[in-house]
Structure 1
């Protein structure tokens, strides 16, 4: 019996441990987001493709080399190089050629194409970096929302407990005849209202945690808790520069702006490459090859050819070296070249517009982040003062009601004000806590390694 009891305790302990909710810190959440985000992983895959395209275009500057070969049989008339005459019979042949070609001039299209693909690779690299920052910011916003909902649920739980305590006190006073019965009904409503507010806050927390789990690609059925960041909101001012310095930092570090600039330069070289097709192209070529022939004898016609050996034919007799220069002069191609040139020019013009627009967006986002930080700082200080005043008012009103010099309406209003002030303060505190991340995102300096 004792052994069975011990086994039951062990099983219950393991079950409790297995069902314990996962505690998720902000940095762990960001790490999961960076590992599982769809857009970021797709951008990284596209970066691999652009890197291969860059390397391929660079190697286009070198000669292209290939080997061609053939083997077959000819039954009928054929010219035999060994006999120096046309024969009628069965001829087996094997041949191979080494071919090499190299562009000498093609309107600089090869060089400009290489520069275009190199800049496209830089643009994709910057896009990956900015997408990385997008993921961090998105996770931060959702994590902040869940933290606030979690805190508001605690406030509503405490409010319910306070309302229930007041209800119990008023009930005793009503039974003693020192309070009117209407106060008990009024307080009962406040208790039921507090229960409803707690239920709503928990539903909101549950829904937002599901959204966060979807973003992090966590199984929504797995329970997890959010760890409170141990960040001091009072030291944030030391790291925030002036708006001019923030703008300068953003223009130097914003990856989306660098990506737009690289794309603009890439399209410019693409335009130059397209214009190069108007010019003649000159290529050097070289071909080295050999061939082996075997003529089958025909006893019926008393035909017994003298076939030389494979080494004599393939390595000595039939070797051939051909080299030279070829050129192509475009004359008329149905305006296809002109169409490509105009299309590439418009892509370049559109890229310039995108760069200018991105620069304006960068400055605007920096301005908004700076203003939001200042507003968040002011809001935090105001809600902090409001919370202290609401707490004092609630304590005084509670004491006044206990002494019988105040009514239930005033106490209810003071309680609601105190609860609202707590929620406003927590909202302002969490908002200010994450403003440094938003400023780093606006200036393009946000990194996973810098997250405390």
Structure 2
């Protein structure tokens, strides 16, 4: 009796464990819905390149602040403590003494630049332009991420739709095979039709496997783009944006103007060119004399062992106080052409950055032109594929009826079905492409932002 109870208990415990593992496995395979806007937000939060550019922005801001403060005075405190064993000059007694002398010295040194050929002023302007360049770099990096997520998400949506079409085609082929088998058994169809239909079914199943594999691979690429855990299962959601209302309302010239005023990479190139120009002007300032004012304040305390010494207060606040102030200047005469070499190099950098800015303007216009053409092509392709799908669907229905009535053969029916499947795939591709083409046009003009995503 006891053995039977123990056996029943063991079976129940095993059943509970197996049930728990099965529930856990089912939970791990649940696909979490992922909308397009959520995908973009995850990418912006996780992208390493964006985080690095934001870190560079903080560094650039500190460099700009430091360059600004260098226009003002500088101050520092210097001091030393030590012991001298031997001859030393004693300021209190005005003579050289021989013995052990302990000393403490503290100085406050300040300096104020008066004229340095506008070197520091132009250096500050250069760091300010570099900071603005980094701001534009961060903004364009965000848009690059959104553009990349758009392409990856679009591909996953298309793969998902192709899987659905392939699944539907498999069901259709299986249903047709069942009907043909019934007709073959009744003697109204030849056996070769069943053989041919089985081939069409296996071909549809193969296409389904390929579509599912493409979806898995592209979802893995999307997860990598979002820098998500590859083990997380997700299901991309159709945004269901109304593509019939999408239309290019702006002319190409208007888009050029918008892009030239909003492209962050173009603005960044202009700021970079300005920074190079200010660096060039700052180095030219080294040709001129530099003038600065200074003021130093210090004091010391000396203790000679074996003799009577004045107190610390008497020495440090009265006897050894020293104040030095005046004007310092430096006139460059000859330095082995080091200044000239630096100036020539900085001028070359400025000329190259100016060429980069001119080339970037042409690049922006070229990208806007391609995006504009792709947008119009996407509109036209969507309209054509929509009409094509309607015609293919009607042809498939008529072909099915003709085959069932025995008017046409299996070859004609198979061709009509293949045309209908291809028309569905072309329509899905055109619909999703047009759905996201407006975002790609905004990316080309530099107006793409997370807040504008529907």
Q: What TM bracket, shorter-length normalisation?
A: over 0.9
Aligned pairs (5 A) from 1:308-319: 308-319=310-321
What is the CA deviation profile of residues 296-334 of structure 1, one whole-angstrom value per residue up to 9, with x for unaligned ones? 00xxxxxxx331110111011111100111111111212
Q: In 1, Cα distance between the equivalents of 2:132 and 2:261?
A: 15
Q: In 1, Cα distance between the equivalents of 2:91 and 2:372?
A: 86
SS in 1 for 2:287: coil
SS in 1 for 2:238: coil
Post-superposition shift, 1:11? 7.1
2:4: which partner in 1? none
Give yes or no for the alignment of 1:153 onto 2:160. no
Give yes or no for the alignment of 1:335 onto 2:344. no
1:270: which partner in 2? 279
Unmatched segments (≥5 aa) in structure 2:
1-7
Aligned pairs (5 A) from 1:7-86: 13=23, 16-86=26-96
Unmatched segments (≥5 aa) in structure 1:
298-304
Of the three residues 413, 416, 420, the one matched with 2:415 is: 413
Aligned pairs (5 A) from 1:225-374: 225-237=235-247, 240-297=249-306, 305-374=307-376
2:402: which partner in 1? 400
What is the CA deviation profile of residues 245-284 of structure 1, one whole-angstrom value per residue up to 9, with x for unaligned ones? 2111111111001000000111000110111111111111
Q: In 2, Cα distance between the equivalents of 1:271 and 1:236?
A: 49
1:106: which partner in 2? 116
1:136: which partner in 2? 146
TM-score by length of 1: 0.95
Q: In 2, Cα distance between the equivalents of 1:145 and 1:15?
A: 28
Of the three residues 101, 106, 115, the one matched with 1:96 is: 106
Q: In 2, Cα distance between the equivalents of 1:140 and 1:322?
A: 67
1:302: which partner in 2? none
Select between 270-279 and 14-23 the one with higher mean Cα deviation: 14-23
1:301: which partner in 2? none
1:441: which partner in 2? 443
Post-superposition shift, 1:370? 1.0
Give the number of equivalent residue pairs. 444
Post-superposition shift, 1:9? 6.6
Consecutive aligned runs of 4 or more in structure 1 exceeding 6 Å deviation: 1-11
2:5: which partner in 1? none
Post-superposition shift, 1:10? 7.2
What is the CA deviation profile of residues 169-191 of structure 1, one whole-angstrom value per residue up to 9, with x for unaligned ones? 11111111111111111111111
SS in 2 for 1:222: coil
Q: In 1, Cα distance between the equivalents of 2:29 and 2:423?
A: 35
Q: In 2, Cα distance between the equivalents of 1:209 and 1:160?
A: 23
Post-superposition shift, 1:13? 4.9
Post-superposition shift, 1:63? 0.7
SS in 2 for 1:434: helix
SS in 1 for 2:382: helix
1:172: which partner in 2? 182
SS in 1 for 2:89: strand
SS in 2 for 1:62: coil
2:3: which partner in 1? none
Post-superposition shift, 1:222? 2.0
TM-score by length of 2: 0.95
Q: In 1, Cα distance between the equivalents of 2:405 and 2:274?
A: 79
Aligned pairs (5 A) from 1:419-434: 419-434=421-436
Q: In 2, Cα distance between the equivalents of 1:284 and 1:66?
A: 15
Q: In 2, Cα distance between the equivalents of 1:284 and 1:139?
A: 58
